[in-house]
Amino acid sequence: MKRTTYAILAGLVALGAIGCTDVEKTEIQVPNSHSSEYYRNLREYKKSDHAICFGWYAGYTSDSSPSMGLHFTGLPDSMDIISLWSGIPSNNPEYVESSDFNERYMPNAYRELQQVREQKGTRFVMCRICRIEGTGFEKNDAGIEAYALYLARCVLRNNLDGLDLDYEPEGDWLQGENFTKFIQVLGQFFGPKSGTDKLLIVDFYGQVPPAETEPYVDYFVRQCYSCSRATTLQGYYDQMSSWCPPEKFIATEQMGWYWENGGVAFTEEDGNTVDSWGNPLYSVIGMARWNPEQGRKGGFGGYYFEYEYNTTRPANATLGDIEQKSIPYYSIRRGIQEQNPANK
C-alpha cells in the first residue's frame, strides 16, 4: 500500500499536479533587552533578603535552537538559582576529557551562562546525584575527601556559584554520618561556613538529610512532587523543623510532569483554590504562596521548569483561567510575584 501511494505521488509531482510551496519562515526569538538601571536593580534585588526562586534546568544542551526556552538568556529574569541538571557547560575541552561527564564542551552555552550571571545576578550551581558507588572513590574518609575535592574543582574551574547535591542515597554508602563528613569537607569551599559566598545546597525526596549538615548548608530543597495541599507542605517541613530554620527550606514541584497546568490542583490551609488574579491555583504557585507556621520559607521552584515555556496559561479556559494571553514560564513568573509582591 505504501509503495502504491508513493508511486502515485511521484507521478503527480512529475506532471506538475502538486505545486511547490514557499519555504516556511523561521521565527528567531531574541531575549528581552532592558536598561542598565533595570539590571542594576535586578542584581540588588537578588542580593536582598528574600524568598528565592530555584529551578533545575536542562534545556541549554540545544544551544542552536531558536527558542528562548532553551537558552540561559531566555530564563525569567527574577529567578535566583539555576541548578544545572545536564552537566556543566564548559568552554574548555580539556576539562571535559577528565570530568566523568560533569562537564560538557558547550562554549556558546557557557558564554550565555556567564552573561546572565554578570548581567542579571542569577546564580548557577552544579548538580550531582550524591552517591559514591561506581565513582571509583574509596569508601573511607580518604575517599570522601577525594570525592569532595573533585566536585569542588569542577565547580570552581568553570566559574560557577556553588554545588547542589541530590541526596537520594537509596542504600548507598554515602549517607548518614558519611554524608555529614562529605558535607564538612565541601563546607570548606561552599556554604555559610566557607566565607567564599559560594552556595552549598542539598536537595532530597524521601530520606531527610542528617541534621548535623545544617550549619554547612545554605538551602535544603525538598522535592514536594504532586503536593496538593498546604497542610502537606507543612508536614514536610515539620519533619526537619527542629533543626532547619524555615528560611533554609525550599519547596519544589516536578514541572516536567505538569507543564500544561503548573502542577496539581492546590488547596491552601483556609480552603482557597485561586491565585491573586482569580485563576485556578496549582501547586507551583501554591508553593510560592505558602509559608510554614514557623516563619518565611527559603523559596519555591521546579524541576524541568523549561517544559512550561510554551504553556497556554493563564489563558486556558478549559482549566477555568480568566485571562486572555498566555505567559511563557507562567508558573515561575507568577510564583515569584506571589511570593515577593513588588509593594513589599
pLDDT digits (tens, 9 = 90+) for 204-218: 999 999 999 999 999
pLDDT band at 98 (very low <50, low <70, confident <90, very high): low
Grid cell for residue 297: 520559607
pLDDT on residue 15: 36
pLDDT on residue 61: 81
Q: Residue 94: pLDDT above 90?
A: no
Q: Residue 12: pLDDT above 60?
A: no
CA distance 124 to 109: 12
Q: Residue 252: pLDDT above 90?
A: yes
pLDDT on residue 7: 38
What are the residue ranges of CATH 3.20.20.80 in the chain? 58-215
User: Average pLDDT for residues 58-86, to the nearest whole number?
Assistant: 91
154 class by beta-carbon count within 10 Å (0-12 exposed, 13-18 middle, 19+ buried):
buried
pLDDT cut 70: percent of the chain above it: 88
pLDDT cut 90: percent of the chain above it: 82
CA distance 257 to 241: 29
- Cα atoms found within 13 Å of the Cα of residue 114, Cβ hemisphere only: 10
In CATH, which of 3.20.20.80, 2.30.40.10, 1.10.620.20, 3.40.190.10 is domain 58-215? 3.20.20.80
pLDDT on residue 99: 63
pLDDT digits (tens, 9 = 90+) for 124-178: 999 999 999 999 999 999 999 999 999 999 999 999 999 999 999 999 999 999 9
pLDDT band at 23 (very low <50, low <70, confident <90, very high): very low
Average model confidence (pLDDT) across the chain? 90
pLDDT on residue 62: 76
| Of residues 246, 184, 249, the one with CA closest to residue 213 | 184
pLDDT band at 3 (very low <50, low <70, confident <90, very high): very low
Amino acid present at 144:
I
Please provide residue 181's backbone torsions phi and psi, each rounded to the nearest 5 degrees.
-60, -40
pLDDT on residue 96: 80
pLDDT on residue 24: 39
pLDDT on residue 302: 98
pTM (two decimals): 0.89
Grid cell for residue 108: 556558546
CA distance 275 to 282: 9
Residue indicated by cell numbers 490542583 = 265
CA distance 303 to 254: 5
Grid cell for residue 172: 548507598
Q: Residue 19: pLDDT above 70?
A: no
270 class by beta-carbon count within 10 Å (0-12 exposed, 13-18 middle, 19+ buried):
exposed
User: Where is average pLDDT lowest: 86-95, 110-119, 168-177, 232-241?
Assistant: 86-95
CA distance 328 to 269: 28
User: Average pLDDT for residues 253-267, to the nearest whole number?
Assistant: 97
pLDDT digits (tens, 9 = 90+) for 77-88: 999 999 999 999
CA distance 51 to 83: 17
pLDDT on residue 101: 64
Q: Residue 1: pLDDT above 60?
A: no
CA distance 276 to 322: 12
Per-state percent for the chain, helix, strand, coil, to nearest 5: 35, 15, 45
Helix (H) or strand (E) holding 10: helix 2-15
pLDDT digits (tens, 9 = 90+) for 168-194: 999 999 999 999 999 999 999 999 999
Q: Residue 6: pLDDT above 70?
A: no
Under 8 Å between Cβ of 130 and 174: yes
User: Average pLDDT for residues 49-76, to the nearest whole number?
Assistant: 91
